[in-house]
Amino acid sequence: MRRERSLDLSCQRLMKLGGAPLGQRRVFVAFGDGSRCSTGVGHSPAPQARVRQRLSTTHGARVTLVHEAFTSQVCSRCFLRTEGKQIGGKKVHGVMVCRNCYSADRHPLHWLASPFQCGANMVAIYQHLASERLRPTCFTLSD
């Protein structure tokens, strides 16, 4: 019972983030498909299926699965490939820097923390899929 209540509270928070008063406007949710997960392909550490089901049936959101390929490797600002940040010759895991988004004194305008970058890129993919019916080329394998 406690898990169900916690799940509902999380869904309600997501719906509020979507700017929808309860029951008045449809919220569209781009949800990672779990194919790029550290626990194994297709196996996510969270109860994603229950969250997706609850969002769509109980809260009326339209949930779309988005393939997560390259979302952590592309700058969410200029959509060019990023590089891993190195400090003292060692790569800092989870922090990327875009060489294109540098200021005049050669300091990055923003270093991209992987979860935030992935989320922003998933929204960009979702919007592009909705308008063009194709995935943006920067998020696909180039031959």
Task: Give the H or E element holding residue 123.
Answer: helix 114-132
Would you kindly state where each structural domain of the chain is located, as residue ranges?
2-66, 83-133
The whole-number pLDDT of residue 99 equals 74
Q: What would the 3-class secondary structure string for 12-55 be? A: HHHHHHCCCCCCCCCCEEEEECCCCCCCCCCCCCCCHHHHHHHH
Mean pLDDT of 55-83: 82
pLDDT, tens only, 78-128: 888 877 666 677 776 666 777 777 655 555 555 666 777 888 888 899 889
Q: pTM, whole model, 2 decimals? A: 0.67
The whole-number pLDDT of residue 143 equals 47
pLDDT, tens only, 14-56: 777 766 565 566 778 887 777 655 555 555 556 777 888 888 8
